[in-house]
Amino acid sequence: MDKTLETKAAYWEPRVKTYGFQRMTGLSLIEITVRTAGIDSLGQVFCRLGDAGVGFHLVFSRPSSQGLEVCLLVTAQWAKVIEEHMQKLVEGADKLVGRTSPAEMVFFQGPHFGDRYGILDAAVGGLAARGIGMKATVCSGSCIYIVLPEGQSEEAVLALSEVFEIPRAASQKRSTPAG
């Protein structure tokens, strides 16, 4: 018999609780592919944009065959300004490829989300059940971000509400960025 006493604990609930869904509309998703050698130059562009007061709602990046694919989710009114700054980088080894599309976002948190398994599986399953396609998904810290095509966030919240438990007082908060 094992003489070592061990206590293991896990947080589990039949229907995963959240603190409510945040929904954002009127956004643009800017996707940029940048070579590894161009990271410094891209950083300089972002610094200039930051100095100009341009903020973001979500940024994420993953490797691609050409370097890094960088995605910026911003208030739609900033998209043109960002594109203009990016054009200045389109040369030599720093060459960037980009595209911009309208987007919306739903994000949410819940108890111990950063330390539990199964949250993304539940979210993806809930959206798939309603045939809702995602543009991107990010799980970082204790937050789940789902980037959706324009006009899909309301339906996405309904789909997620069937899978997750939400607070009665505030089932969802809608935010339209003011810039």
Where do contacts with other proteins occur on this chain (CB under 8 A)?
10, 36, 39-51, 54-65, 68-69, 71, 109, 115-118, 120-121, 124-125, 128, 133-143, 147
Nearest approach in angstroms of CB 39 to other proteins is 4
Nearest approach in angstroms of CB 26 to other proteins is 16
- Give the side-chain half-sphere CA count within 13 A for 156: 29
Question: Closer CB to other proteins, residue 28 or residue 168?
Answer: 28
User: How far is it, in rounded angstroms, from Cα 124 to Cα 132?
Assistant: 9
Q: Is 34 exposed, middle or buried (0-12, 13-18, 19+ CB in 10 A)?
A: buried
Question: How crowded is residue 175: how many other Cβ atoms within 10 Å of its Cβ?
Answer: 12
Question: Closer CB to other proteins, residue 2 or residue 51?
Answer: 51
Q: If you count them, how many residues does the chain have? A: 179
Nearest approach in angstroms of CB 152 to other proteins is 13
Question: Closer CB to other proteins, residue 32 or residue 157?
Answer: 32
73 and 174 in contact (C-beta within 8 Å)?
no
Nearest approach in angstroms of CB 139 to other proteins is 4
Nearest approach in angstroms of CB 138 to other proteins is 5
Question: Closer CB to other proteins, residue 133 or residue 168?
Answer: 133
Question: Closer CB to other proteins, residue 3 or residue 14?
Answer: 14
* DSSP H or E segment with residue 21: strand 21-34
Q: How far apart are the first and last CA of the chain?
A: 64
